[in-house]
Structure 1
Amino acid sequence: MDRENEEHVYINEEPNSHDVRTGRQISTTHQTPGSSETTEQLQCVQVLLCVVLLTALIVLGTNYTQETHQLQSDNTNLINERDALLSKNNDLIKERNACRHDFFKENNGWIYNHSSFYYISSEKKSWNESRRYCTERGADLIIINNKEEQDFVQKNINRRSLFWIGLTDIDEEGSWKWVDGSTPTFRFWKSKEPNGQRGENCAVVHSTVWADYRCSLAYLWICEKNILM
């Protein structure tokens, strides 16, 4: 190789060379074609993804808010419908009770009080006959469960008369039971009553108290028909 060619090779191997005419340095560093364009494309993709995600979040948030409002509205409507039905049901119950009250009171002499109808007789029968009269009409001799019912009886009877009630110890002496088999939780026995032992196994109400008498005697009676559902 001649000297001129050697110098040419040497110059090409220099990382930087100078232009002999202008004296400016010539860069021999090479850039990868399209590298700046790829970076810009990546940035564009990232921005696009951010926009898509943000849009999706906004849409989801809007749908959630709308669904929440719809559920709240539906719940309010259901509550209103429930209250309307309850109100209507209460009105129907009042109408039913009023009809029954009028029917029994006007046509059969029955008195309505606290979900029960009461029949106060005007004739006299034995305890068994009195009970039969009640059961034939879908009722039974009265069961007095509390003071309020005792007070109701006192206000509607002739206190000078005796009225059979649905209380007896005929099955077991000394074990007083109501006609439905329950044991009295409230007692209004007269002082020293019951005292009839085996001879007096049925109870009457007289004035404000109870007493035991022979079941075969004829007295007035009180029937009770409970309509509580």
Structure 2
Amino acid sequence: MGKLALAKRGASRRNIASRKRKAKTNETGASAFQDLVTFFKSPVGERLIVLEIFIFTVMTLLVFILYRKELKKREELQVAMDMIRTVVVGTDPIYEDKDDLEILAAAQNISAEMQYFANLNDQLQKEIDTLLENLNNGWVIYEGTFYWFSIEIGSWTDAQKHCEQEGARLISVETREEQYFINKQVERHQKFFWIGVFKDKGKKWSWLSGMEAAVHYWNYYEPNYEANHDCGAVSYDCYYERCWMAFECDLQIHYICKKVPNDTWL
């Protein structure tokens, strides 16, 4: 037999084998499909189908709920953004055409300013409370400064210490108007009061600050030159508006404290 005949016979056998395999595969596939159909028609298969439908339905509902929540968040965010824009533009119309990021930046600046003023308001309220407390405790206010006309008596040194305990100092007089105010208060009390003027080691009349009392308001024949009359006081019996008198520093009389508030009080 020739080679050509042998080749044809081999090809024919291969074709037959291939058709058999395809037929077998088709039979297997048909059988598997038939088995699947049979399974889904069974009670177990029906329960599986119902379970899959239930899971699909739940997943679909869950996705829908999440979508609605996200949509609601976006709506709420937009409402909040619109409110912020209204406030910012109402504060300064220059922001009317700005985008959301610029509006948020402006809102942050405004918030920082509001916080600053809120803190300042709290500080002022504390200062007001302190003012009211001092006034309720008998301090007198004049030109933004507190004055205490003591009820108790003591020496000049005691008076100085008591004033310091109150966060104040024995009074120094800085203007003619202030001295006039002091004179009126002393006249109303009808008592002598120590003030913060004294004779220093150089025999000069000075304030507790160390400054010389260049402007003074000595009464008639004052300061006298009697021994140890080295501390100044204010009398209610004045020569015109000149009310200062020199006494011995151990004399037990009333005294005037002066408290100068912080700059935030003025």
State the TM bucket, normalised to the shorter chain. Answer: 0.5 to 0.7
Cα distance in 1 for residues equivalent to 2:126 and 2:184:
25
1:120 maps to 149
Change over 3 Å in CA distance of 1:149–1:96 after alignment to 2: farther
- Write 1 or 2 for the structure with the bigger share of helix: 2
2:132 maps to 102
In structure 1, runs of 5+ residues without a counterpart are: 1-80
- Aligned-pair distance for 1:149? 0.8
- Aligned-pair distance for 1:197? 5.0
Percent of paired sites with the same residue: 27
Q: Which amino acid aligns with 1:161?
A: K
Cα distance in 2 for residues equivalent to 1:133 and 1:105:
18
Cα distance in 2 for residues equivalent to 1:109 and 1:93:
23
2:182 maps to 153
Cα distance in 1 for residues equivalent to 2:256 and 2:216:
17
The RMSD of aligned alpha carbons is 2.9
Q: Which amino acid aligns with 1:139?
A: A
1:138 matched to 2:167: yes
Deviation sequence 1:96-151 (CA, Å, 0-9, x none): 65433211011x22122223211110121000011110111211100011111112
2:74 maps to none
1:181 matched to 2:210: yes
Deviation sequence 1:5-43 (CA, Å, 0-9, x none): xxxxxxxxxxxxxxxxxxxxxxxxxxxxxxxxxxxxxxx
Q: Which amino acid aligns with 1:149?
A: E
- Counterpart of 1:164 (choices 194, 203, 206) is 194
Q: Which amino acid aligns with 1:152?
A: F
Change over 3 Å in CA distance of 1:211–1:93 after alignment to 2: farther
What aligned pairs does 1:7-86 form with structure 2 within 5 A after superposition? none
Change over 3 Å in CA distance of 1:91–1:193 after alignment to 2: farther
Deviation sequence 1:133-185 (CA, Å, 0-9, x none): 01112111000111111122122224531100000014222x01101111224
- Counterpart of 1:222 (choices 224, 248, 256) is 256
- Tell me the SS of whatever aligns to 2:161: helix
Structure 2 length-normalised TM:
0.48
Q: Which amino acid aligns with 2:149?
A: I
Q: How many residues align?
A: 146
- Aligned-pair distance for 1:93? 8.8
Q: Which amino acid aligns with 2:177?
A: E
Q: Which amino acid aligns with 1:195?
A: N
In structure 2, runs of 5+ residues without a counterpart are: 1-109
Structure 1 length-normalised TM:
0.55
